[in-house]
């Protein structure tokens, strides 16, 4: 991907009321502007990334992964993210860490002032063995923020199993996480935790579609 111009926005010509899917598509279309013929591009999961896939289609080529476009569940002002509500956080984090550039596409509903601020799930992938022990430890860790911790279930009411055969404990914060960097380290230090959904200092740029147009933020 070309390094985008830092922090610019494109105003919509008129201001129609767009649905969340239309906003996702707007951000995805903007992301495709960065795709060059011959480039090797990785793509993540989720409905926003799916719009990117649909748009670029045949531009994908096989070979070494250097760049990736993916969605996110939360985006804070420093371009730190929560990801993994779709359950693929471990593989997404590995691929994105290995990528030269990681461009996020999202609609404005994903913007938060602090991670954990959306009141929706922040996932932590844990090994199945003694999962409850980690659920309790995670609750204790975030006692100051106030948190509810729940084992993720699938549509049949059984524990959701990730593509790496682990479980997910979803954390629902009452208040945003005070120090996401410290929190990330502490979660990772728990025995039996495989990965968490805090993606810190990983995004190269974030493309956000909102009612007033598309904004690109880059570090």
Is 155 assigned a catalytic role?
no
Q: How far is the CB of 44 from ligand 5RP (least distance, A)?
A: 5
Q: Which of residues 47-86 bind ligand 5RP (CB under 6 A)?
A: 47-49, 70-73, 83-86
Identity of the residue, 136 or 184, whose beta carbon is nearer to ligand 5RP in the bound complex: 184
Half-sphere CA count of 69, side-chain side, radius 13 A: 30
Identity of the residue, 149 or 195, whose beta carbon is nearer to ligand 5RP in the bound complex: 195
Provide the b/e sequence for 153-192 (b: ≥16 CB within 10 Å).
eeeeeeebebeeebbbbbbbbeebbeebeebbebbeeeee
Among 4, 42, 46, 210, the residue binding ligand 5RP under the rule CB under 6 A is 46
Give the count of residues interacting with ligand 5RP (CB under 6 A): 18
Question: Helix 180-189 crosses helix 131-141 at what angle (to 10 degrees)?
Answer: 150
Among 31, 32, 42, 44, the residue binding ligand 5RP under the rule CB under 6 A is 44
The partner residues of 116 in beta bridges, in order of sequence, read: none
Q: Which two tokens stand for residue 94?
A: 């590995």
Identity of the residue, 129 or 188, whose beta carbon is nearer to ligand 5RP in the bound complex: 188
Binding site for ligand 5RP (CB under 6 A): 44-49, 70-73, 83-89, 92
Catalytic annotation, residues: 92
């Amino acid at each position: 991907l070309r390094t985008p111009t830092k922090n610019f926005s494109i105003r919509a010509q008129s201001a129609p009321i767009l649905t969340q899917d239309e906003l996702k598509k707007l951000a995805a279309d903007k992301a495709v502007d960065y795709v060059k013929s011959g480039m090797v591009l990785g793509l993540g999961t989720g409905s926003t990334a799916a719009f990117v896939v649909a748009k670029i289609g045949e531009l994908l080529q096989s070979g070494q992964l250097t760049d990736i476009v993916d969605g996110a569940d939360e985006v804070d002002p420093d371009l730190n993210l929560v990801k993994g509500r779709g359950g693929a956080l471990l593989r997404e984090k590995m691929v994105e860490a290995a990528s030269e550039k990681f461009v996020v596409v999202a609609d404005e509903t994903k913007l938060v002032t602090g991670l954990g601020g959306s009141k929706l799930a922040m996932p932590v992938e844990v090994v199945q063995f003694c999962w409850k022990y980690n659920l309790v430890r995670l609750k204790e860790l975030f006692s100051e923020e106030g948190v509810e911790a729940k084992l993720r279930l699938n549509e049949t009411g059984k524990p959701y199993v990730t593509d790496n055969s682990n479980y997910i404990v979803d954390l629902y914060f009452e208040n945003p996480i005070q120090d996401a960097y410290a929190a990330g380290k502490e979660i990772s230090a728990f025995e039996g935790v495989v990965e968490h959904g805090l993606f810190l200092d990983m995004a190269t740029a974030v493309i956000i579609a909102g009612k007033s147009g598309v904004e690109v933020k880059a570090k």
